[in-house]
Chain A
Amino acid sequence: SAVISQKPSRDICQRGTSLTIQCQVDSQVTMMFWYRQQPGQSLTLIATANQGSEATYESGFVIDKFPISRPNLTFSTLTVSNMSPEDSSIYLCSVLLPSGGFNEQFFGPGTRLTVL
């Protein structure tokens, strides 16, 4: 497995502002992902963070709203731009790692965002 940390762990923000969430892994990983979990809902994949190139976004998510950086193989950021109350969610990063001869996803502790 890997040790994955996220900053901040939680934040309360005003409508119209932006927040950048950091994800740090203690080992180099090829694939990193960002998920959103809205209240009472399950996890939805926002994008795959690609090192050295633009992120790959899932349907319904766009770069202008959720810009992602991946400057190296251990770090990524997700920015939630021009926030509205509908963006209140837990945001989680995850990594894909070899485990027991296969690949397994491991998740960070999440960032709980509340937008007023």
Chain B
Amino acid sequence: KQEVTQIPAALSVPEGENLVLNCSFTDSAIYNLQWFRQDPGKGLTSLLLIQSSQREQTSGRLNASLDKSSGRSTLYIAASQPGDSATYLCAAASGYSTLTFGKGTMLLVSP
């Protein structure tokens, strides 16, 4: 059974810092890995999707990497802003459509 762990559970940084969020998964036979953002009490916004054959994806200030052999993914946020404050979730797709989510990293960026 796939298990996804995210570290740290919470992170507080001043504006402008670069930061890294970590995600690990136990079963390396994944179809893809997705990173989502969730604002308090809201739904999920898809940030980046990395296919199993890819090593990284970039969108603006966000860069996600994937190392299947070690069961790890990282989300790098450059020049953080207060608007980046949210919970970040990673989810591993073990099949065509089955997503297993981590518990998330709650990020607070202070002005």
Contact = CB atoms under 8 A, between A and B. Distances in A.
Contact-size category for B: 20 to 34
Nearest to A105: B99
B98 interface: yes
B34 to A, nearest CB: 7
A102 B32 contact: yes
Given A42-B104, A104-B34, A107-B36, A33 B44 contact: no
Interface residues of A, number: 26
Max chain B C-beta neighbours (<10 A), residue from A44, A100, A105, A107: A105
Interface stretch (A63-71, A75-83, A108-116): A108-116
Interface string A24-53: 000000010100000001111100100000
B41 interface: yes
Q: For the complex, would chain A's binding face be called helix, strand, loop or mixed by DSSP majority?
A: strand
A45 B98 contact: yes
Given A42-B89, A42-B104, A109 B98 contact: no
Given A42-B89, A43-B89, A105 B34 contact: yes
Interface in A90-106: 90, 92, 94, 96, 99-100, 102-106
B34 A112 contact: no
A104 B46 contact: yes
A48 B43 CA distance: 18
Max chain A C-beta neighbours (<10 A), residue from B32, B44, B49: B44
Contacts of A94: 44
B97 interface: yes
A6 B103 CA distance: 23
Contacts of A99: 49
B97 A48 contact: yes
Contacts of A108: 43
Contact of A42 (B97, B98, B101): B101
B103 A41 contact: yes
B102 A96 contact: no
Nearest to A31: B97
Nearest to A90: B41
Interface of B: 4, 32, 34, 36, 41-46, 49, 51, 89, 91, 96-99, 101-104
